[in-house]
Structure 1
Amino acid sequence: MPAIHFYDAITAGKHAAEGQLVRYHSIFVSDDVAPEILMSAIKLRDDVYVDPKEAAKGELALLDLMLGETELEWARTGFKHFMTKDCLHVGFGNSTRLDPYIRYGMYRNLLPYPCIGLPEGSHFLDVETLLRAVALLRPDDFPWPESVRTLPMTAMHHFLMWEAEVNGTNRAILVKETLEKLAAASPKLIEHAIRTSSIEAIKTCLGLDGGEVSDLRSVKPCLMVHPLIPHPRGAILALPLAVDITYPDIVYVADLESDLSSLSDPNVESLQALVRVNPTDLHKPLIRVSLSRAPFCAAIGVVRPKDASRLAVDIRTVLANIEYLRAADHLAARLRDEPILELAAQPADVDHRMWAGDFNQADLLRMQRLHEQPIDQWPSIIASGIEGRFRELGGRLLGRTKPELLSVSEREVLTRHFQNKAAGNFQTPDRLAHLRKQGQDIAIESPNALGLVQLNERLARILG
């Protein structure tokens, strides 16, 4: 692989659509140039709600949240990093906690990373997923004590990243070191994970035909591991059944350890009722897997007989279920014809509508122009946008970057919007009074916690 990009970040805000990165650490390693090491601080936007009590429990309490570049400046750097061709991107918990913040940050700043898809040759690894896979499949290879292997993942992350949290070390270097230890301890498993770290490679591993499920006899049963897979062990033995027609990187698989009688019953009215959301819903055999989250995927032979015994996997049931599904000819046709995916209702606010469909080509070109032209040219570029999302996002971007280019009425609308967001979308007098009092009390209790003091001062400035 020509280049490897290790990265980690600290985020603020409860939701990626309204939050942001406040620290971004990165290291680029390639054969022909010296490593490029970056530690960026990003100023907290005025329209990000941060709960003072929650901030007091974590890293935000001690950070200088007013230090650094703007989110726009970071987004341009991030866009350059993640659009690098033929690059392996490696993070720790990136596919669960970081990448949504990164994607929304680019969307909010009108950089089309999430809109046009990943560049050719993009590969992603989540070290959290690999830790889970090694602990699950090759526990004897796990390069830390058993007491660490059995920790919840948040505690394991804290254990492995403590140096960065205490000393301000570049967290991306620690991600790199963690992957190196895993690769040295379990080389075959990690080599396989790297080979199957792209969406295309995962689809090949699953036996998809041109990215689709043509029939249930040609797809391949696989072990899939990812923290978000709804199973108590975060892993399933799966057979691909269908690819979502709207989002081709979403695959529906059957849990081969489940009772599949309801799935193959032609009298079941709705397949949606069989989709598992919670790990405890083991009676629901259909599982939605997003391949863009780069799950670990391998042939079921990776589960050795002693592993099956340790994990309480009944291989005979698994093999019988594979044949049972392959014989259910009507099921493949129904899965192709009946829509399964029912997205939860999304907030109407434009900041949340990243997945509302791709921007058209003309607006993508406007995005490119926007980042090439001086800022005084932005109002005319934004006003000429075809899609409402582009114009509204552009207006907010302009309001954060150079509000004097907006009219008085436009500035007033944005000011109210930013105030509402900073207050957690609850602009009632009692809510504001409670929030201000909470911020003041916490700042007084922790006068040496710079981040908490700044959050209180920020609320006073924004809310008055």
Structure 2
Amino acid sequence: MTDTFFWYDLETTGTDSQLDRIVQFAGQRTDAALNPIGAPINFYIKPSWDTLFHPEAALVTGISPRDLDREGLSELEGLTKIYECFSEPGTCVVGYNSFKFDDEFIRQGFYRNFFDPYGREWQHGNSRWDLIQLVRFAYALRPDGIRWPETASGRPSFKLEDLAEANGLLHEQAHDALSDIHATIGLAKQLQRSQPKLFDYHYKMRRKHAVLDALYPLGKQAVLLTGGYGPVTDRTLVPVLPLMPHPVNANSLLCIDLRVDPSTYLDLSAERLIDRFMKFEQNTGEYRLLHQVQINRCPPFAPISTLPEKTQSQLSWQVDDLAGFVKKIQSTPKLHPLLSEAMSAESRPTSDDVDCQLYSGGFVSAVDQQQFARARQWVNGGQSVVFTEERLNELFFRFRARHDATGLVPEEHSRWIDFLRRRWINEDRLLVRYQLTLSCQSEDPTNRLLAELIDRLQRQAASAAISLD
């Protein structure tokens, strides 16, 4: 089995991975040297009727709702093609800022259309990676070989379009999925050429066992954490002590920030100590003491020994202090039980809406997972499916309505309209979206795309008897 990269990008109707939808998918498979394998993939997906387009997202992508209605695949057809691309054995799926954005849309789409949301990320030697993590890693520790663009305020910009322009990479149309793919691969090639050791090191971190091998035993030594954890004045570098696994989330590690002398907080009472760890407010001048780092998201850890000497003299913290700070924490055994109890009691978001229960609803049983393929076959004339979990039965009803509302019996049609009304009236979602689109049109009255969005919103409101006055 030869490992390959599959580079991908999405365009969507908005930024909410649970309520917004994918409208464009583009991808390109490459070998390990980033040479293309086959032709790129590029197609559009027609959002279901319950989807409300965000006007600002539509203006960025320029993708027309009417064109999607004419040329777009159904969500099931589109996600089937995506699932096949991602599930080819030995595939590492890569995007740019994909862990926080694109991958969430993919997971939610798979869940909504009865695919295993997680299997493609680890089965058959597969994995996932996010190039923006490597880019930030390079900026922090090995910046040579890349031109680093800055914002108007003088901060580094990690936006793909800015990096592409600064480094002369092909990027003909920002926020077009296929164009973004070309720019992402070009940036990856430049990093692979200029910093091959860093490239290979971070690529290995896509595997959880590699992360754990680098950090265990926990609580023994300081490491560097890069990315968005520290200020730009410190090249985003933060020294931390990986202390313990999260007591609830097995994919998360609790790390203590070593920029703060532990003697300033370890003698606090148990209540005040937990308060200091758990409650962090921006703009107070205090550092966040506790960082939760996901080991299944290529965490940007690096040994302290990788810190360049010229960078050390520019930092707001001292490397020589770290060993002493670690010893102080090690001599305070009360930290483990206190943090374990506090993190276990921490509230987690829940929802009554089955579309929003991918994470809060728990894992699907093996018995119900065996029904997934049959559920998808319903679109091709297959029989209806009954799951043991009621959440999935409601999800299946919505799946049927989204793909063929005309096939619903009268009672089901009324149920579907009731669902649309509840979703669109909740927090005045449809009305607020309509007013925002009108506001955008007032600034650009001849824009055809905005006129299409307004027409769609008006028809959606009429279909559920919702007033837009």
Please give the range of the TM-score, normalised by the shorter of the 2 chains: 0.7 to 0.9
* Contact 2:45–2:73 (CA under 8 A) maintained in structure 1: yes
Structure 1 residue 423 displacement after superposition: 6.5
Cα distance in 1 between the residues matched to 2:275 and 2:368:
35
CA gap of 1:363–1:422, structure 2 versus 1, over 3 A, is same
**Residue among 401, 411, 414 paired with 1:412:** 414
Cα distance in 2 between the residues matched to 1:306 and 1:245? 39
User: Where does residue 289 of structure 2 map in the other structure?
Assistant: 285
Mapped contact 2:97–2:130 kept (Cα < 8 A): yes
| Deviation of 1:422 (Å) | 5.2
Deviations 1:68-117 (A, max 9, x none): 11221222222233334432222111112221111111111121123897
Is the Cα contact below 8 Å between 1:55 and 1:452 reproduced in 2? no
The structural deviation recorded for 1:400 is: 0.6
Name the counterpart of 2:390: 388
User: Of the candidates 361, 367, 386, which is equivalent to residue 362 of structure 1?
Assistant: 367
TM-score by length of 2: 0.83
Name segments (4+ residues, structure 1) moved above 6 Å. Answer: none
Q: 1:463: which partner in 2?
A: 461
Pick the aligned partner of 1:186 from 192, 195, 205.
195
Quick one: which of 370, 379, 382 aligns to 1:377? Answer: 382
Bigger CA drift: 441-450 or 243-252?
A: 441-450
Distance 2:177 2:227 in 1: 29
Distance 2:146 2:52 in 1: 39
On the 8 A contact 1:46/1:462 being kept in 2, the answer is yes
Aligned to 1:237: 239
What corresponds to 2:466 in structure 1?
Answer: none
2:212 is the alignment partner of 1:203? yes
Structure 2 residue matching 1:252: 3-state secondary structure? strand
> Looking at both structures, which has the greater relative contact order when contacts are Cα pairs under 8 Å and sequence separation is at least 6?
1
Question: Aligned AA for 1:403?
Answer: A
Residue in structure 2 matching 1:39, options 22, 37, 42: 42
Amino acid at match of 2:310: K
Per-residue displacement from partner, 1:175-211 (whole Å, max 9, x unpaired)?
1111001111222211211122222211222225xxx
Q: Say if 1:134 and 1:336 are closer, same or farther in 2 by CA, change over 3 A.
A: same
What code does the residue aligned with 1:395 have? F
CA 1:11/1:109 → structure 2, altered by over 3 Å: closer, same or farther?
A: same
Alignment partner, residue 87 of structure 2: 83
| Percentage of matched positions with identical amino acids | 20
Q: 1:278 to 1:156 in 2, by over 3 A?
A: farther
* Distance in 2 separating the partners of 1:376 and 1:169: 34
Contact 2:206 2:297 in 1 (8 A): no
Given the alignment of the two structures, is residue 271 of structure 1 paired with residue 286 of structure 2, yes or no? no
**Cα RMSD (Å):** 3.3
Worse overlay, 277-286 or 184-193: 277-286
Residue aligned with 2:250, SS: coil
> Partner of 2:162 in structure 1?
156
Give distance in 2, aligned partners of 1:309 and 1:371: 59
Question: Secondary structure of 1:19's match?
Answer: coil
Q: Is the 8 A contact 2:120 2:127 kept in 1?
A: no
**Runs of 5+ unmatched residues, structure 1:** none
The 5 A counterparts of 1:302-313 are 302-313=306-317
Matched, 1:353 2:354: no
Residues of 2 paired with 1:419 and 1:320: CA distance? 60
> For residue 355 of structure 1, what is the amino acid of its counterpart?
Y
Task: Map 1:320-339 to 2 at 5 A.
Answer: 320-336=324-340, 339=343
Indicate the residue corresponding to 2:8 in structure 1.
7
> Within 5 Å, which residues of 2 pair with 1:43-54?
43-52=46-55, 54=56
Does the 8 A contact of 1:86 with 1:121 survive in 2?
yes
Any unmatched runs of 5+ in structure 2? 463-469
- Name the residue aligned to 1:452: 450
2:100 maps to which of 89, 96, 103: 96
Establish whether residue 171 from structure 1 lines up as the match of residue 180 from structure 2. yes
